[in-house]
Structure 1
Amino acid sequence: MKKKDKPISLIKSVDHAFELLEQFRGDVSELNMSELGRRLQLHKNNVFRLLATLESRRFIEYNASTGSYRLGLKAFHLSRMVARQMRLVSRARPTMEAMVRKCNETVCLTVLREFSVICLDGVVCTQPVRVVPPIAIRLPAYCTAAGKAQLAHFPGDKLARFLSEQKFERNTPYTITDPASFLENLQQVRQQGYAVSREELEVGVTCVAAPVRDYSSNVIGAVVLPGPITRFSNDRLIEELIPHAVKGAAEISGHLGYC
């Protein structure tokens, strides 16, 4: 945080919950309530409420045989998810850097989480006017090329749930807000193997995206090239940028075992 920034008011209970989880590290696999209270310098009642809350969310579990607490399955699942994402980023990064050198446009690596697009990594081009990747920021999937490149490969039941739950809000005059038109667009994306978003999320920005697959052929992410509409003409999209995105996504998929 910069000194000039206004201090953020932290939620103490949330801060204490994370501090509690951080006690289980290194060789420490289990801790009883008294030890946790000593480490956190909190009253026993406060520690009990924290443990009860985390246990209800499966981040903590009680070991009846030892009378102590340990990390729960939810914490394990989250750690595995982070590990998978880090492997994806590390294997994709060299290809992304090579893509930027070739076309001098920004390249992003994205995933879907709860029907939102999250950018895991990005390599920024040297153009004077460029799009800077919004790392770790959630963006609506329905109006982004990255989202559509992945949604197009959803199984029928999951796609139906998305359509029933998604609020198609109009971000720009070009946003697709009709579910039937959106579904038709996804069918086209699935057939052609890439997605294009022309000013659907932000006026003046065009994106092209291609899906990334893992060893089991599942779509687990998308490679995205975002840029100003002035440089992303139809001719350049067709002749250069779309093939570039598709080739880059295929190369990353190959690194992940897809063939």
Structure 2
Amino acid sequence: MARKEKSEYLIQAVSHALDLLEQFHDEVDELGVTELSKRLKLHKNNVFRLLATLESRGYIEQNRVTENYRLGLKTLELGQTFIKQMGLLRQSKPILEALVRECNETIYVSVLKDFHIIYLDTVETTMTVRVVPRVGSRLPAYCTAAGKAQIAHMSEEELDQYLPNRELQRFTPNTITDREELKRQLRVVAEQGYAVDDEELDEGVKCVSAPIRDYTRRIIGAVSISGPSMRFGTERIERELVPLVIKAADEISSKLGYTK
């Protein structure tokens, strides 16, 4: 029996679904059914069925404000899995180790998922007093340095989608619970390129973080320096820790193909 070419095994519906997902790239964040129909040269009914299927599995989601569609969190999850397995952790480990040698504080690398931070890896300080390692922990983005370093680059619409209308949960006296005050601080974070957690999640713990970008220029994670507040005075944060964490984030980003 003659061996068939792989192209003969292609499933058209799956191919169309992948074509649809690939329309979201570069600066194209959202698309409507009509525009997708034109791009894919498919009838609107077929496009709607593809969208409904992908939406049910989390690969596509609808913006309730614009009624357009965009990539869903499942695509982010797949991308983060790839990064974890093939890129981010492997490339960041030696940089995290070097960073610990420079400041002797605990270092984390994390990713954003569902408006929460998930710590993927850590290198601990040799100091006796230290923060508890949180690899695998799922923490709120709005009151962590790693979270703020990433959500600071979200649009107003994205922030409004994730932030509850009610007051944000308070974890410490320093937690920012007012939505508008948080947005104001996030604008500052986006401008300066780093974020600080000033005992906003845990009393007695401070953290400094900067975002990590990949070759597409998208933010795919963050690197953080964390430790007890008694060692994280304002002067040390500004003169030593901020430059170090930005340098580390830039080095990891560079290894992932990012160029400024």
Normalization by structure 2: what TM-score?
0.68
Q: Deviations over 1:185-231 (max 9, x none)?
A: 00000011000011100000000000000111111111011100000
Which residues in structure 2 correspond to 1:2-151 (within 5 Å)? 81-86=80-85, 87-151=87-151
What is the CA–CA distance in structure 2 between the aligned matches of 1:123 and 1:178, rounded to whole Å?
Answer: 33
Equivalent residue number for residue 217 of structure 1: 217
Alpha-carbon distance change, 102 to 77 in structure 1, aligned in 2, over 3 angstroms: closer
Give the distance between the partners of 1:256 and 1:207, measured in 2 at CA: 24
Q: Distance in 1 between matches of 2:74 and 2:161?
A: 27
Cα distance between partner residues in 2 of 1:185 and 1:78: 27
Given that 1:107 and 1:223 are in contact with CA atoms closer than 8 Å, whether structure 2 keeps it comes out as yes
Match of 1:252 in 2: 252
Of 165-174 and 234-243, the range deviating more from structure 2: 165-174
In structure 2, the gaps of 5 or more residues are 1-55, 59-72
Contact preservation (8 Å) 1:112, 1:118: yes
Q: Tell me the distance in 1 between the aligned counterparts of 2:149 and 2:77.
A: 25
Write out per-residue CA displacement over residues 26-67 of structure 1, whole angstroms, 9 at most, x where no aligned residue.
Answer: xxxxxxxxxxxxxxxxxxxxxxxxxxxxxxx769xxxxxxxx
Q: Quick check: 1:207 aligned with 2:181? A: no
Q: Per-residue CA shift, 1:97-149, capped at 9, x if unaligned?
A: 00001111111001110000000000001011011321111001111001000
| Aligned-pair CA distance for 1:83 | 2.4
Structure 1 gaps of 5+ residues are: 1-56, 60-73
Q: Is the 8 A contact 1:124 1:132 kept in 2?
A: no
Q: How far apart in 2 are the matches of 1:136 and 1:244? A: 24
Q: CA deviation at 1:167?
A: 5.6
In the alignment, which residue of structure 1 is the partner of 2:160? 160
| CA radius of gyration, larger in | 1
Aligned to 2:52: none
Cα distance in 2 between the residues matched to 1:75 and 1:219:
16
Who is 1:19 aligned against?
none
Return the letter of the residue paired with 1:157.
E
Distance, in Å, in 2 between the alignment partners of 1:211 and 1:204 is: 23
Partner of 1:173: 173
Q: Hey, what's the Cα distance between the residues in 1 that align with 2:82 and 2:75?
A: 11
- Normalising by structure 1, what TM-score? 0.69
Q: Give the number of aligned pairs.
A: 190
Shift of 1:85: 1.7
Partners of 1:215 and 1:133 lie apart in 2 by 29
Check whether the contact 2:77–2:113 (CA below 8 A) recurs between aligned residues.
no
Task: Report the 3-state secondary structure (helix = DSSP H, G, I; strand = E; otherwise coil) of the residue aligned with 2:230.
Answer: coil
Q: What residue number does 2:28 align with? A: none
Q: Deviations over 1:66-109 (max 9, x none)?
A: xxxxxxxx999866542222221111111000000111111100
* Conservation of the 8 A alpha-carbon contact between 1:119 and 1:133: no
Distance 1:194 1:186 in 2: 10
